[in-house]
Amino acid sequence: MSKVILKPQTFAGTNPALMISCGTEKHNIITIAWSGIINSIKPMLYISVRKERYSYDLIEQSGEFVVNLVTKTLLKACDDCGIHSGKNIDKFEKWNLTKGFNTLKTPYIKESPVNIECKIVNKIELGSHIMFIADIVSLIADESVMTDGKIDLKKFDLVCYCGGGYYSLGERLGNYGFMATKKD
């Protein structure tokens, strides 16, 4: 196999395409792909946001945000929320998205099948982005995407982001640890 050397860039395979709802008085939605789980006991994740984004101050001031998973049906809204500022437009209203409230003052997007409520515990300045590190305080899932008490990705068309494009996730290829049970 022949390899090509490329310049450093933000390509690490797929990242989730996420709609982050933020703000406790004025609400907004920002599209984020720089995110991920960083701890399991206690569950934590991070999002990275450019300081000049309108949502940055909303997140910084409130100390909380909600991660809303994106499906194919939410993809147009997701993309649009990423290219327009919430300074002059209500993105919930523009895309007819319903605000839901659980434990935070920040709303979640009811049309998203899974919502992850987060409280910020730390932030790291990285250069172009600020990484917000957050505790996951609540997971909200639509009953329609559940199987035996667990979120079932086969029940909705989750979207990811890679190299400037959006992709849907395919079929399940195995479970964690499947090789440990495989007999040669």
Q: What is the CATH number of the domain that holds 115?
A: 2.30.110.10
The reply to whether 106 falls in a domain is: yes
Which residue range forms the structural domain that includes residue 37?
A: 15-168
State the average pLDDT over residues 93-119.
98
pTM of whole model > 0.85?
Answer: yes
Q: What total number of domains does the chain contain? A: 1
Is 83 part of a structural domain of the chain?
yes
Q: What are the angstrom distances between the C-alpha of 145 and each of 57, 71, 122, 142, 160?
A: 33, 12, 31, 6, 18
Mean pLDDT (the chain) is 92
The amino acid at residue 171 is E
Specify the pLDDT at position 151.
93
Q: Does residue 39 have a pLDDT over 80? A: yes
In a domain, 96, yes or no: yes
Mean pLDDT (whole number) for 160-171: 85
pLDDT of residue 108: 98
The one-letter code for the residue type at 77 is: A
- The pLDDT-based confidence of 16 (bands split at 50, 70, 90) is confident
Is the pLDDT confidence value at 4 over 90? no
